[in-house]
Amino acid sequence: MATPHNTAKKGEIAKTVLMPGDPLRAKYIAETFLEDAVCFNTVRNMFGYTGTYKGKKVSVMGSGMGIPSIGIYSYELYHEYDVEAIIRIGSAGGISDKVKLRDVVIGMGASTDSNYAVQYQLPGTYAPIADFGLLRKAVEAGEAMGISVVVGNTVSSDHFYNEFKEVNELWRKMGVLAIEMEAAALYMNAARAGKKALCICTISDHLFTGEELAAEERQTSFTDMMKIALEVAE
């Protein structure tokens, strides 16, 4: 059944979806790694494709930037298209001394400054976490390919530009590895739906060393995290 944001029909989307923020990165993954890839969605240029990887049916679809956007697309995939697992792949800004440019970071947890969890009316503070089975497979896949991964807490921020200039230092003091903008909502949507989710990011810039990758490199060069995510796909 189509939604206002996705024209795919039931059965056209695999049980596991890789979800980069950038729809052009989704197109790149489909064209580079998937066999017999077919486009199932172009609404709002949020491209989605389904193909096979090493004989496994896999889909890849953009999520857009930020918690509200991935909140919409992941909710619909879980509830309208019977998707069982979503693996977010994207860029993140490093804040910990434990990560450097191009490192692959796996978000075991996703702290956030968003109020996304308010909708659940919980009597406390919810801690969004990854599916352990997917996380373990991702670490094992990285080790098998000789890719060093860093596992720990990340933070999903609603602010790319923040007036509170000390915020990164405060997260850093709590041992947070990196900042991105989507994982917390994905983890919460997965938990509420009884499904699986994982966030794998590549460090595109470091907020304390000042190092950064060019925009084109962010779109096409993060192949290590893509390969790990594809190996994890069930």
Is residue 191 domain-resident?
A: yes
Per-residue pLDDT tens listing for the chain (234 residues): 689 999 999 999 999 999 999 999 999 999 999 999 999 999 999 999 999 999 999 999 999 999 999 999 999 999 999 999 999 999 999 999 999 999 999 999 999 999 999 999 999 999 999 999 999 999 999 999 999 899 999 999 999 999 999 999 999 999 999 999 999 999 999 999 999 999 999 999 999 999 999 877 765 568 999 999 999 998
Is residue 62 domain-resident?
A: yes
Is residue 9 domain-resident?
A: no
Report residue 174 as tokens: 């709590």
Is residue 228 domain-resident?
A: yes
Is residue 3 domain-resident?
A: no
| Burial classification of residue 65, based on how many CB atoms lie within 10 Å of its CB (0-12 exposed, 13-18 middle, 19 or more buried) | middle
Is residue 6 domain-resident?
A: no
Task: Give the distance from CA 124 to its chain's centroid.
Answer: 25
Domain tally, the chain: 1
The DSSP string of 178-222 is EEESSHHHHHHHHHHHT-EEEEEEEEEEETTT--B--HHHHHH--
Task: Give the distance from CA 230 to its chain's centroid.
Answer: 13
* Known active-site residue 205: yes
Is residue 84 domain-resident?
A: yes
Q: How far apart are CA 93 and CA 207, in angstroms?
A: 6
Tell me the pTM.
0.96
For position 165, which CATH number holds?
3.40.50.1580
Range of the structural domain that residue 119 is part of: 16-232
Is residue 10 domain-resident?
A: no
Q: Active-site residue among 22, 103, 205, 224? A: 205
